[in-house]
Amino acid sequence: MVFRARELPDKYYLAHFNEFIAHINAHCQSLLGAPQRDFLTTIQQLDHNSLCMLVRIINRSGEVVQAQAMEYAEIERCQEQITKLVAAGLLRALTTQDFLLWLPALSKAQLTELLHINQAPSFPASVTKQQLLSLAAEHCQAQRCVTSTVGKSFLYKAFTEQWAYLLFIYFGNLTSALNKFSMRDLGVLKTRDSVAVSAPRFSSLGEAQSAFEFAKLRQTIKYTKPDTQQLLTLAQAMPAIPVGDTAQRYADEYYYLLGKALLNIDVDLAIQTLGRSHLATAQEKYLRERYKAGHKEQVKQQLEKILESSGDSALCLFAEDFYQRKFNQVKVSQLTQMLRDSAHIVALDEVYRDSPERGVKAHYERQGMQVYRTENTLFSALFALLFWQELFVEDELAVASEFDRRPRSVRENTVYQSLATSLDRKLAKLVDAQTTIKLLSQNVLKYYAQPNGMFRWHRNLLVKLTAFLQAAPMPAVIEHLRAMAKDYHSLNDGYPDLLLIDQHGLRFVEVKSPGDSLRSNQLVTIKALQQAGFDVDICKVEWLYDATQPYVVVDVETTGGKAAGHRITEIAAVKIVNGAEVDRWTTLLNPQRRIPKFITQLTGISDAMVADAPLFCEIVDSLDAFLQGSIFVAHNVNFDYGFFKLEYERLERRFSLPKLCTVREMRKYFPGLGSYALKALCTEFGIPLQSHHRAMCDAEAAAELLKMVIEQKQSTVETQLSTQIAI
C-alpha cells in the first residue's frame, strides 16, 4: 500500500484528468463508441490553457456553467479559453430545451430578473429560491429567458453525455467523479493502487452501453422522483433487453423501484413491472401483489418452480414460507416460529438497553466462556482472507480500476461460477485448524490494510478468527464457505451477534431484545449455518434484575470540578453482586499538579498526602481488572465517568462500561424527596457518612443506595412475574 502526500500540487486537477484519460485510452478502447472517440479526439487538440479550463468546467456540478464565473489565476486569459471551447463544440449557447435544466443553476437575484423580464406576478421579498423556481417555471417564456442577458451568460456543457459514459466505464457507477483522485492523493481514500489492471470493466461496447442506459434509468427513479405521468411513460416504454451481468443488475433494481412507485397508480402495471426484476425483494413483492390480486393458482405454480430450481437462498426462503402459510394453512411465518421456539432467555439490567449484545456477552463471560462479538465480520473476513489470491490476484477481471474495492465476481454474485476450480482446490487444503490459521496468517501479513470492500481490518481480527477455527468443526467451516461462494449476496450478512466457546465446543447466538424481530436475511444465514453443522441459538433478552451482574460503585476526589482541566487525587470502588458487597478497591493518586487550598479544605487531601502516591498509569491495569464486566455506578455518574474516560485517553486507552447513576435511580424508585444529594439521602435513610468527600466513605454510601435500588428492582420484578402467572 502506497501512502501518498497530503498536499495537492498546482494544477492537480489536470494531472488527475490526464491519468483518467490515459487509463481510458489504454484499457477501454473497445468500449468507446463514435461520440466518445470524437470527444477524446477533440480534447487532444486543445492547448494547455484550454484543457485546464475544460477540466475546471468538468469539475463544476450541473450541466450548465456561467462563463464569467470561470476565472482562475493559474489559467491565462480565461474567457479566451472559454471561447475556444465553444469553437471546439464542447460548450454551446442555451436553447429552449435547456430551460428547466438551467433554472436551478440560477441565483435568487437572477431568477428575480427573469421574472421581471417576463412581467410575472409580484412576490414578497421573503420569497424562497424554491418558490422563485416554481414561479419561473410557470410564468417565464423559455425563448425570452435563454436569449436574455442572464441566459447569454450561461453555456451548456455539450460533452455531458460522453463524459458521464467515460466515468461510468471507469468507475462502474454514475455517482463517482474525478474528485476521487484528489481524495486518494490526500490520503482520505485508500485504493488498490498496487493492482495491475489488464482488462476493461465490460466485455463489449454493447454490454457497456446497456449497463450505462439502465444505470441512468435507475438513477432517474431513485433520485429525481418522477411524477405520475413520467412513471407511466417509463413503465410503458419497454427498454431493450439488458446485455451482461452489470446491465441486468441495474435493470433489476430499476424495475423494482419503478414497480414499487407504480403500486399507488396502476396496480396491474406495477405487478407487470415488478415481474421484470430478478431481485429476490422484487420477486417477493411481485408474488405478494399477484396473490392479493386473486391470481392464487399462478402464484402457487411460481412458488413451486422457485423451490425446485432457484439458487437464491433468500428467494427460496420466502417461497417456502409463503407457500406454507397460503397453501398449507400454516398460521405463522418461519421467522415468528423460530423466535417463539427459542426458550433461551437472559435477564439484563436496563442499562444495557442501548447495547443488549454487550450485556449478553458479559453474562456469558461471567460463566467462564470465551465470547466474541462477531455479527457479519467473522465470515466476511474469513472468506476474503482465505480466497484473497483467487478473488483479487489471480482473476485478471477482478477489478477494472484502483478504485474498485469488491472483486467483480463478488459484486455480480458469480464467485463459485467464475472460480470453482481454484476455490475447491483451496478448500481441499483446509485439512485442519492449524493449516487454515497458517494460510490466514500469511495473507494477513501480506495484505494487511489493503482495501477490499468485504470486511474492515482490525488489529485483533486474527485473534478472533484463530479462536473460531480452533473450536469450529472444520467440515462445517468448509461447507459454509462453499455456500457463501455459491450465493455470496444472500450470505454476506445476517450473521448472529455473538460467538461462544467453552469446553463443550462452539455456538453462535443471535440476541433479540423485547420488541425485536428476526429478519429474513438473518433466518437465511442462520439456516445456512445450521445446515453446515453449526449450533445457533436465539437469545431473548428480558429487562429484569440479574443476580450475577456485578456493579462497581465508584467515587473519585479530584483537583477541581471539570475533567478537562483537572486530575484525580483518590479513587474508591465497592463491588456489589446480588445486593451484597463482595470486594473493594481504593488508592490515592498523585495528580501531577498542586491541589487547590479550597479542595484540601473540602476533602482533607493535601499535596503532602499524594506526594508519594502512584500515578494513574501505574494503577490502571489493576483498576481495569477490578472493573472488568461490571456496571459502572456513581452518584452523578457522568462526573466520575468523565474523569476515568479522560485519564484512559491520556494513556491512549479506551474506557467504556455501561453506567448507572444512583441519583437517577433513587429518583425513579424513591420519588418525591426534597433533595437527592448524597448527604441529604444519607440523612433521609440513616446511612453513615462520617468522612464526606473522601472517596471510600462516599462510595460506601452510594453502595448502600444501590442496594436499596436493587431491592426495589427485585420487588418490582417479583410483582410483574406474579401478575403474569395470575393472568
**Active-site residue set:** 693
**Contact between residue 534 and residue 507 where contact means Cβ atoms under 8 Å apart:** yes
37: Cβ contacts below 8 Å, ≥ 6 apart: none
**Contact between residue 562 and residue 587 where contact means Cβ atoms under 8 Å apart:** no
Note the helical H segments in 28-96.
34-44, 48-58, 78-87
Strand partners, 239: none
Note the helical H segments in 429-502.
433-447, 461-471, 474-486
Bridge-based pairing of strands 345-348 and 536-543 is parallel
With vertex at residue 428, the alpha carbon angle to CA 427 and CA 429, rounded to the nearest 5 degrees, is 90
How far is the C-alpha of 219 from the C-alpha of 225, rounded, in Å? 10
Closest residue by Cα to residue 573 from 589, 558, 581, 585: 585
Q: What Å distances lie between residue 134 and 122, 151, 519, CA to CA?
A: 13, 18, 43
Closest residue by Cα to residue 150 from 136, 134, 160, 161: 136
How far is the C-alpha of 123 from the C-alpha of 114, rounded, in Å? 13
How far is the C-alpha of 400 from the C-alpha of 472, rounded, in Å? 36
CB pairs under 8 A, 24+ apart, for 279-287? Answer: 279/252, 279/253, 280/312, 280/314, 280/315, 280/318, 280/490, 281/256, 282/252, 282/255, 282/256, 283/315, 283/318, 284/315, 284/318, 284/322, 285/256, 285/259, 285/260, 286/259, 287/318, 287/319, 287/322
What length is written for the chain? 727
List % helix, strand, coil for the chain (3-state, nearest 5). 55, 10, 35
How far is the C-alpha of 20 from the C-alpha of 307, rounded, in Å? 47
Alpha-carbon 652 to chain mean position: 26
Strand partners, 506: 501
Q: How many other β-carbons are positioned within 10 Å of the β-carbon of residue 359?
A: 25
DSSP string across 653-691: ------EEEHHHHHHHHSTT-S--SHHHHHHHHT---TT
Cell numbers for 566: 483537572
